[in-house]
Amino acid sequence: MTGQSAARRGSRAGRRSGDSGTREAILDAARAQFAQRGYHGATIRAIAAAAEVDPALVHHFYGTKEALFAAAMRLPIVPSEVLTAALARDAWDTGSAGAGGAGAGPGFGAHLVRTALGLWESAELRETFIGLLRSAVTSEQAAVMLREFIADSILSTVARAAGLTERGTSAEAEFRAAMVATQMLGLAFTRLVLALPPVAGASVDDLAVTVGPSIERYLTGEIQLPGRRSGERGRGGEPGRGGGRGGG
Amino acid sequence: MTGQSAARRGSRAGRRSGDSGTREAILDAARAQFAQRGYHGATIRAIAAAAEVDPALVHHFYGTKEALFAAAMRLPIVPSEVLTAALARDAWDTGSAGAGGAGAGPGFGAHLVRTALGLWESAELRETFIGLLRSAVTSEQAAVMLREFIADSILSTVARAAGLTERGTSAEAEFRAAMVATQMLGLAFTRLVLALPPVAGASVDDLAVTVGPSIERYLTGEIQLPGRRSGERGRGGEPGRGGGRGGG
């Protein structure tokens, strides 16, 4: 199910459809359910029940749970849709990639950073992101919601686009995508919230070529996967130290 | 203007020394000054004036501005002191480093990650850190304070320990240290606040060998420094893409 984020007015799928009060009631119910039950736990069915509408109407207005979450949080985009399009191979592979068929190759990391930085230019998205961070550091429940949303909606999309899901175990894909999250969330925090001058003032290109290789290494490089000890590293590489110092 | 706080009402220096009320008054004044003027703008003199004590008493109780800040924020450590000790060469160089005399060599990145993860084990430090993050996403003033503190107290210590200050311009050192911040703050946020399972559940060793090479690349690798265009990269290296994929 790729969501149809744009809610459609007009067709009377339900009792109160077309009424903006109904949409507001659905979004209010969604915010409450996501906060109480987390992103995983909240269901369209329970949200519909709380808003006193038919679940079909919620689907009709918002498409997927992710799109409903985005609308409820006032995210101007549905992350998995935007990322799936932006990270599709023809969007970043300029022909230099030779490494391994589908998924991440040289240039993928820089492209991912460029994509993220481009999205963050939107003041609306930035505000929402900072609002979600604020909730997460203030409330444990909000942290759970944000964690589940990031894992489900963003990291699994990145893992899929990078071809991780085809190449390794799901635990490996999750670890690699989570390592990408450690870099990208820190980049967001440092640039958008902290506004540390060298990062806030750097160009998109500077950051893309600087951070991109770290992202690629996390996605496809020789890193130590949890649970393996030295000597049995992922993809049989060297010990991690020094592994990022190579180059061309 | 740094010292425009209420004029001192008589010199009461020493009169209340030893009195825990005096310490509390100094810490209250410090919190207010740091919040109002940022970490750079706040001065021991102005804090003393606001607390109605002699500046010498503040120095006597707390030593440096950084130590006063740490006490005011209830940080259980003074970051520059702990980091200077932890990142001293004999603390991490196991003899394998051959790259370049003083400063970061293979193993430095992993050691830095290990050091940070070790510090974060302290519940007190974690609480303070999360409190500072919370303020930073809530208030622009608090973000300024945290930014200046991180730059002055933490990043400049890392830059010095890594030998950046001896090897390049100060702008290069600041950019490289700031890139380290993008990774380490994201690691902190993902592990401590978001508690993303693959990161929260990973061992210190797993994270150190995974993230360490990214840190080393930012500190000493061939990265593109802002303001230079392709063809004139820092240290004459390849374009950044692929630069982290090398290894052994």
pLDDT tens, position by position, A23-38: 999 999 999 999 999 9
Q: Do A241 and B198 touch (CB under 8 A)?
A: no
Check residue B241 and give its pLDDT: 34
Check residue B106 and give its pLDDT: 81
**Residue of A179, A203, A205 for testing the chain B interface, max B β-carbons within 10 Å:** A179
Question: Among B137, B209, B214, whose Cβ lies nearest the Cβ of A134?
Answer: B137
Among A92-96, A175-179, B232-236, which range has the highest average pLDDT? A175-179
Q: Do A213 and B216 touch (CB under 8 A)?
A: no
SS3 state at B28: helix
Q: Do A143 and B194 touch (CB under 8 A)?
A: yes
Q: Round the average pLDDT of chain A to a whole number and report it.
A: 83
Does the pLDDT of residue A45 top 90, yes or no? yes
Does the pLDDT of residue B238 top 70, yes or no? no
Task: Measure A46 CA to nearest chain B CA, in Å.
Answer: 25
User: Residue holding tokens 């109605």?
Assistant: B52
Residue range B145-160: average pLDDT? 95
Instruction: Tell me the H-state helices in chain B.
Output: 20-41, 44-51, 55-62, 65-72, 79-86, 89-92, 108-120, 123-138, 140-149, 156-161, 164-167, 170-188, 197-200, 204-220
Residue range B178-186: average pLDDT? 98
Residue of B nearest to A217 (CA): B245
A102-111 pLDDT per residue, tens: 567 788 999 9
Q: What is the CA radius of gyration of chain B?
A: 20
Beta-carbon pairs below 8 A across chains A and B: 252
A205's tokens = 């290109």
A107-148 pLDDT per residue, tens: 899 999 999 999 998 999 999 999 999 999 999 999 999 999
Residue of A nearest to B140 (CA): A193
B69 with B26: CB under 8 angstroms?
no
ipTM of the predicted structure?
0.82
What pTM, to 2 d.p., does this model score?
A: 0.82
Question: Among B182, B218, B244, whose Cβ lies nearest the Cβ of A216?
Answer: B244
pLDDT-above-90 percentage for chain A: 69
A 10 A CB-CB count for B33 gives 27
- Which chain B residues are closer than 8 Å to A142 by Cβ? none
Of B193, B108, B115, nearest to B154 (Cα)?
A: B115
